[in-house]
Amino acid sequence: MLSEKNRRVLKTGHPVRVLIVEDSRDDADLMIRHLRKGGFKPKSHRVESAAGLISAIRKDRWDIVLCDHNMPGFDSVEALDILNDSDLNIPFLLISDALPEDIASTLLENGAKATLSKQEMGALVPAVVKELQQSISKKGEHNGKEKTKSGSNTSSISLFEAKKVPEELTNTIGKAKNGDVSSTNGHSGNGSYNHQKNPVKNILIVEDEMIQSILLEKLIKSLGYKVVGKVTTGAEAIEMALKLKPDVITMDISLQDDIDGIMATKSIQDKSMIPVIYISGNSDQYNYKRAETTNFIDFIPKPVNRESLAKSFSKAENITFDKSS
């Protein structure tokens, strides 16, 4: 059973990208209905062949794979082999009835996370929550090890790979490390800075991924701040930012609708100069350049950690925007 705590977390509906390997449309629809009932907002795609699976994992990003065993000319063992060969590390759950014990053992030995019965679909949501939480945790650990190996610190912009950073951005990073965050890291763009101390208290989270949203909320609360809202689309971000007037917005770039985080920030700051901290997996030079057309406090590549978030909020408290602009 899903814990009451996780039910409360999921009750507003959190997005999850689900790739379903299943030849029965009705069974796939049943999985989606259970996920929705459990509090998810699934974005799903169904495939039933090796070619379809390969195409899907090449074209899009998935949080979890739900796979039947027997399909015409294709089975779960081959599906898992394809996934393992991709090196994407997407959690793989088998959902099938009357699965031979030797097949189940083979799948689990090769990396499947769990085997579930179609007759007991109530176990699906807890299994998905568990695997997504573990997946994000592993990504965070991997990120920490990579930063330790490279000798980089945990302060936002410096997490960009050096080979991807142009000369002018390198100069910006140097200024940021020396405390000159009002030069380029402040991005004068559409608004002005006020160097008076700003008591940051209320935070709006704009994040389209369920697990990231949950972990980010926990980090923010652990730092003593209050989360006044969580939204998953650019349109909701604009509406809630102007309604709630938070002290800071943590803004993902890739969102669920056609308005991405940078576009949403521009729309918000046209009417109210609310400080923004970008937290995104789209931490490439192109998106950083786009972000520079807005006013923002920091740009933190995912996965975010407590230290980098604390430093960003500290900057927000010392360098603020005039919200009335």
Residue 156 has pLDDT above 60, yes or no: no
The owner of tokens 């918000």 is: 268
Instruction: Judge residue 167's burial from the number of C-beta atoms within 10 Å of its C-beta, 0-12 exposed, 13-18 middle, 19 or more buried.
Output: exposed
pLDDT for the residue numbered 173: 32
Chain CA centroid to CA 243, Å: 24
> What domains appear along the chain, each with residue ranges and CATH number?
4-138 (3.40.50.2300), 153-321 (3.40.50.2300)
pLDDT for the residue numbered 318: 75
Q: How many CB atoms lie within 10 A of CB 231?
A: 23
pLDDT for the residue numbered 145: 52
Reported as half-sphere exposure (CB side, CA atoms, 13 A), residue 70 has a value of 5
Q: What is the rounded average pLDDT of the residues 172-200?
A: 42
Reported as half-sphere exposure (CB side, CA atoms, 13 A), residue 132 has a value of 25
Query: If we measure between CA atoms, which residue out of 74, 23, 17, 79 comes closest to residue 46?
Result: 23
pLDDT band at 157 (very low <50, low <70, confident <90, very high): very low
pLDDT for the residue numbered 36: 85
Angle made by CA atoms 166, 136, 215, in degrees to the nearest 5: 90
Residue 148 has pLDDT above 50, yes or no: no
Token pair for residue 243? 């309604």
pLDDT band at 152 (very low <50, low <70, confident <90, very high): very low
Q: Please state whether 98 falls in left (phi above 0), alpha (psi between -120 and 50) or beta.
A: left
How many angstroms separate the CA atoms of 123 and 2, rounded?
A: 8
Token pair for residue 77? 């063992």
DSSP one-letter string for 10-67: HTT-EEEEEEEE-S-HHHHHHHHHHHHHTTEEEEEEEE-SHHHHHHHHHHS--SEEEE
Query: If we measure between CA atoms, which residue out of 264, 281, 181, 277 comes closest to residue 223?
Result: 277
C-alpha distances (whole Å) from 7 to each of 31, 136, 207, 213, 295 are 18, 19, 19, 15, 36
pLDDT digits (tens, 9 = 90+) for 243-281: 999 999 999 998 888 888 999 999 999 898 899 999 987
Residue 146 has pLDDT above 70, yes or no: no
Instruction: Judge residue 130's burial from the number of C-beta atoms within 10 Å of its C-beta, 0-12 exposed, 13-18 middle, 19 or more buried.
Output: middle
Chain CA centroid to CA 291, Å: 18
Q: What is the rounded average pLDDT of the residues 53-65?
A: 94
Q: Please state whether 319 falls in left (phi above 0), alpha (psi between -120 and 50) or beta.
A: beta
Q: What is the rounded average pLDDT of the residues 272-293?
A: 84
Residue 308 has pLDDT above 70, yes or no: yes
Chain CA centroid to CA 118, Å: 29
Residue 49 has pLDDT above 60, yes or no: yes
Q: What is the rounded average pLDDT of the residues 275-293?
A: 84
Q: What is the rounded average pLDDT of the residues 131-147?
A: 60
